[in-house]
A and B are shown apart, each in its own frame.
Chain A
Amino acid sequence: MFEKTRTYFLNIKKDFSKQQHEKKAEQKLETFSGKKDGILAWSDYRHPGAWVAYTIGIGILIIFVFLALAPIFWLFVSSFKSTSELYEIPYNFWPQSFSLTKIIEVWQYLDFGKYFLNSIVVAVGSVMAAVFFNGLLAYAVSVVKPRGYKVVYALVMLSFMIPTVANLVPLFKEISDFGLINSYLPLCLAAGANAFYFLLFKTYFDSLPQDLFEAARVDGAGDLRIFFSIIVPLSRPIIGVVSIFAMTAAWSDFLLPYLVLQDDGMQTIMVKIYSIQSTIATSTEFGPDRLLMLLCLSIIPQIIFFAFFQKQITATSTTSGIKE
């Protein structure tokens, strides 16, 4: 008797769930509607296999995110442990307490602010030298093009292949002959002779419209005038990029500062950390737990820096396609 009504309702129910299903699928597709490029475009996601593959892909990325962050997370957590806690069996991930006094204690014991300041001095000096000297050279090679500029370009590119530190002995001898041991000057100026920064500047200047310079010349502007009234204002983005690179490089630099800064009070953070690490086996007062805390303190500025400039940093590497 109710057979008809029942099938009627069943059909409605079926239709409804079918509709819902389709709606869901469409909604899912919608997330990809913006994806018109790439190996899989949004239309490919009609295929359920694509969904499985996509989910696996996301899963793999999450695993890599874990691999990238876990060691740093471990470092921050473990830096609050004591030495005996570090090597405790069975292993405890968390320290017994997160006492902030340990940070202060380590900081004060070493007078760490001093090394921080040294690192900042070197970093700021390096940024200034990197922008000024490489920018000027790139401007001359890219825009002014005086006779013989091709030779200069070839010679600079030659140094792209050989890092400054490869010729350790003569470089060190030169620096000490000039009386520059225990001076920040050679460390900062070394950033001014960097083929990578030069190349970044040159690529940028080459991309500026040449008509602009021609027009300025027709108007009677000299090369110096062009530099200050056209190039400098237009170069803000590239100056920013080189500054970021030079800043991170200077903060992380190790070998040259290690050889040049022999006086303990002059050392940069990385040099100080290395000298602590290399003597830790014999040191009685500075245990591994304190070294861990020092590591944290030394990379926090880099993390803050990254947080501020992460867009510029990742965008540069993406668009320039040049790798340091």
Chain B
Amino acid sequence: MKMVATKKMQGRGFGGGRLRKRDLIGWGLMLPSLLLFLFFVWWPLGSNIGLSFFSSVGFSANKFVGFANYATVFQDPIFLKALLNTLKYVGWSLLIGFVIPIFLGLLLSEVVHFKGFFRTVLYFPSMISGIAVVIMWSFLLDPNAGAPLNAIITALGGAPFRFLDDPNWVIPLIVITMTWRGAGGTMLVYLSALQTIDNSLYEEARIEGASFFQRIHYVTIPHIAPTIRSLLVLQIISVLQIFYEPLVMTSGGGPDGASESLMLLAYQYAFVKTGKASLSSATSVILSALTILLTIVYLTFVSKQKKKAPQDV
């Protein structure tokens, strides 16, 4: 203690501007990692924003054009489609994928038999790589009459379904695939939140004669509400960046752009429709702005949550 105190005083005594030994060591330790962050995150982020205001030759900036790239992008019908679709992805994922993990978490926290088995198996799809999952599902969702899901539908007396070839169904079906893979992981987070609930609250509720649904309503839901809010925002953020699902499942946003997303479009502007690198930058800047907006919302929720219950998070 004493030594720390004197060190601190020394630091101040030498005029404050002088570096302490600890500062030197600290920055020395941080430097290699900071260089990596600079290379992989900060520099690309900065130059991406820069490039979005320039015309491009290949992948390099050429002439300053102001907001012209943004104007071009907003006039491109495929961009508007991608923007709308990205919001559709988010909407469908909230509709399909949001409640299932909460429900499973609740069930699992109440179950006594085979709890470990259920937890492991339900988490299992989250372990498989995304690319493998979406290729597997494109096989299952094959529009051929002889493909597995259509075989089930025809066996039940239905007509073969077009699945991913149907522009109205392609987004919900991709969202089902994402939910299949992601629900288990989210379920575990809810499970951890449910386990932190103080049991005396339930006891009190029981003594007061609260029914099962009253207990959920007055004890469970209020307690996991911060987790629900946080995961809601996290889910929105991750779905906003949806990319390889449409790339693989609908060979790049088909049918006729019905599953095109912003991130996919940013990739296509850069690497498929060559010579549009600036448009790609503008698109990902718009996407990042959307994401940051939502992350700020998320972080305010998390800090509120910390104030309320410092033991979890």
Partners in one complex: yes
Indicate if the CB atoms of B51 and A133 lie closer than 8 Å: no
A48 within 8 Å of B (CB atoms)? no
Smallest beta-carbon distance A301→chain B, Å: 10
Cβ proximity bits B192-236 to A, threshold 8 Å, 1 near / 0 not: 111101010011001000001001100110000001000100100
A273 within 8 Å of B by Cβ?
Answer: yes
Main secondary structure on chain B at its contact with chain A?
helix
The majority secondary structure among interface residues of chain A is: helix
Q: Take A162-B292, A318-B188 as given contacts and tell me if A65 and B121 are in contact as well, using a CB distance cutoff of 8 Å.
A: yes
Chain B residues closer than 8 Å to A38, beta-carbon distance? 109-110, 194, 199, 202
B284-A69 in contact (CB<8A): no
Check A259 against B271 for contact (C-beta < 8 Å). Answer: yes
Tell me if B26 and A270 are in contact (CB < 8 A). no
User: Is residue A103 contacting chain B, with contact meaning CB distance below 8 A?
Assistant: no
Is the Cβ of A172 less than 8 Å from the Cβ of B231? no
Roughly how many angstroms separate A78 CA and B135 CA in the complex, as a whole number?
A: 14
Among residues of B, the one whose C-beta sits closest to the C-beta of A164 is B40
**Contact partner of B36 among A54, A57, A193, A278, CB < 8 A?**
A193
B82 at the interface (CB under 8 A from A): no
What CA separation (Å) do A266 and B3 show in the bound complex?
54
Residue of B nearest to A35 (CB): B112
Contact B59 A65 (CB under 8 A): no
- Of B43, B106, B195, B295, which one neighbours A170 at CB under 8 angstroms? B43
B side interface size, CB within 8 A? 113
CB of B81 within 8 Å of the partner chain: no
CA distance A278 to B43 in the complex (A): 32
Q: Which of B28-55 contact A (CB under 8 A)?
A: 29-30, 32-34, 36-37, 39-45, 47-48, 51
Chain A interface residue count: which class?
35 or more
- Interface contact B37-A314, CB-CB below 8 Å: no
Known contacts A152-B30, A169-B280; decide if A193 and B263 are in contact (CB<8 Å): no
Q: Is the CB of A75 within 8 A of B40?
A: no
Chain B positions within 8 Å of A168 at CB level: 266-267, 270-271, 280, 284
**Residue with the greatest number of chain A CB neighbours at <10 A, chosen from B4, B202, B231:** B202
Interface 1/0 per residue, B1-41 and A, CB below 8 Å: 11110000000000000011111111101101110110111
State whether A274 touches B129 (Cβ < 8 A).
no
Say yes or no: A252 contacts B37, CB within 8 Å.
no
For this complex, 6 residue pairs linking A to B, each with C-beta atoms less than 8 Å apart, are: A53-B212, A65-B118, A91-B148, A223-B29, A255-B244, A274-B135
Binding site for A on B (CB under 8 A): 1-4, 19-27, 29-30, 32-34, 36-37, 39-45, 47-48, 51, 59-60, 104, 106-113, 118-125, 127-132, 135-137, 139-140, 144-148, 151, 155, 180, 184-186, 188-189, 191-195, 197, 199, 202-203, 206, 212, 215-216, 219-220, 227, 231, 234, 237, 241, 243-244, 248, 251, 263, 266-267, 270-271, 277, 280-281, 284, 287-288, 291-292, 295, 312-313
> Told that A71-B140, A140-B30, A318-B195 touch, could you supply 20 new A-B pairs with CB distance under 8 A?
A34-B112, A39-B219, A65-B121, A87-B146, A89-B151, A129-B36, A137-B29, A137-B34, A140-B29, A145-B26, A149-B26, A149-B30, A162-B45, A169-B51, A193-B33, A217-B3, A251-B129, A302-B128, A313-B123, A314-B119
Q: Which 4 A-B pairs have the closest CB atoms?
A: A146-B26, A252-B129, A91-B151, A167-B44
